[in-house]
């Protein structure tokens, strides 16, 4: 079933007007935040911590140990 082109054009015009209203609201909110200084207070991405090779090795060994214990308990039952 084909949609009527005039109906699609009307829908497009309606959605574009809604988009314009939303964009205006967003810019007003950003302006208000900038005035209060809250724009800079937005949560920043935290830097990932670097892990040494030795630490990764210890963690891997501990995980292997846990899995071995788990598999052993599953085999015993």
Residues 6+ apart with CB under 8 A from 30: 39
pLDDT at 9: 92
3-state secondary structure string, 18-53?
HHHHHHHHHHHHHHHHHHHCCHHHCCCCCCCCCCCH
* 6-59 confidence digits (pLDDT tens): 999 999 999 999 999 999 999 999 888 888 776 555 667 888 889 999 999 999
* 51-73 confidence digits (pLDDT tens): 999 999 999 999 999 999 999 99
Query: Among candidates 59, 40, 39, 41, which has minimal Cα distance to 49?
Result: 59
């Amino acid at each position: 079933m084909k949609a009527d082109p005039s109906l699609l054009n009307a829908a497009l015009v309606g959605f574009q007007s809604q988009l314009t209203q939303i964009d205006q609201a967003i810019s007003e909110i950003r302006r208000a935040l900038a005035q209060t200084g809250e724009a800079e207070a937005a949560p920043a991405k935290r830097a990932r911590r670097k892990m040494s090779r030795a630490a990764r090795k210890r963690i891997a060994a501990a995980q292997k140990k846990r899995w071995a214990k788990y598999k052993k308990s599953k085999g015993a039952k």
